[in-house]
Amino acid sequence: MSVNFLTAFPQFEVSINSFRKKKALKKAKFYKKVGWWSLILGFIVLVFLYLPSVWYSLNGSEKLGEFIARKFSKKVPTVESPVKETYQPRFDPSLTREARIAIPAIGVDSTIQESTYENYENALEKGIWRVPDFGTPYERSSPTILAAHRFGYLAWTNIYRRKNSFFNLPKLKEGDTVEIVWRQRRYVYEIYKTGKGEEIEDYSADLILYTCENLDSPVRIFKYARLLEI
């Protein structure tokens, strides 16, 4: 004959029910704490990811554009490049006709935007801008200068930001390569120097990349590169 232990000893049933309630209450408190901490951490992550974009949307792009126009619209000294002026990579009809830049070391893979100084903002809103009145990969009478924001705009996704801005430009090291497709020719450059400041230091470079160091700072990060004959 089977005996219901809980019916035979009701005090044990009360104890078990009390234990279950306490256990459920502890679980509820634990999950509540986890929920609050997750909310706080999520808020911190969102602030970290999007606050720079908000600031740039309000202030950064204007300051970068003013910096470009003020510092780089001047005539630069003529300096001979170690690469022969006549050298051009072979024409490859399979390459895109669109001007593009790829920097494998930092994940950049973007169209190069063309625009005048008056409309620079239209270019920076899309990504990487070739500063006018300077050289191109094909015509190297002066260096090719490419500028972009680090943090971009609020509307940009993180993936878009990393591919189409210079968010990770500070991580680019000497010896890293930069590839530019221009007029269906692939130009490969090698970084040979890094600089910081408010002005370009080395106009002998074939390619100069630059962006802001911090959110509200006149200091810019520069990467200087030589064209490789390959």
What percentage of the chain carries pLDDT values higher than 90? 49
Q: Is residue 104's pLDDT more than 50?
A: yes
Q: Which of 120, 165, 147 is nearest to 209 (CA)?
A: 147
Q: How many residues does the chain have?
A: 230
The pTM score is: 0.71
- For position 83, what pLDDT does the model report? 64
d(CA 149, CA 56): 8
Q: Is residue 94's pLDDT more than 90?
A: yes
Report the first-to-last Cα separation within the chain, whole angstroms: 93
Q: For the chain, what is the mean pLDDT?
A: 81
Work out the pLDDT band at 19, boundaries 50, 70, 90: low
Strands 128-130 and 177-182, bridge-based pairing: unpaired
Q: Is residue 57's pLDDT more than 70?
A: no
- For position 190, what pLDDT does the model report? 98
pLDDT (average), residues 185-212: 95
Amino acid in the structure at residue 63: K
pLDDT (average), residues 109-126: 91
d(CA 146, CA 143): 10
Q: Which residue has the higher pLDDT, 90 or 212?
A: 90
pLDDT (average), residues 190-198: 95
What ranges make up the beta strands (E) of the chain? 100-103, 108-114, 128-130, 144-147, 177-182, 185-197, 207-212, 220-227
Q: Tokens 């210079």, residue?
A: 166
Q: Is residue 40's pLDDT more than 60?
A: yes
Q: Which residue has the higher pLDDT, 225 or 39?
A: 225
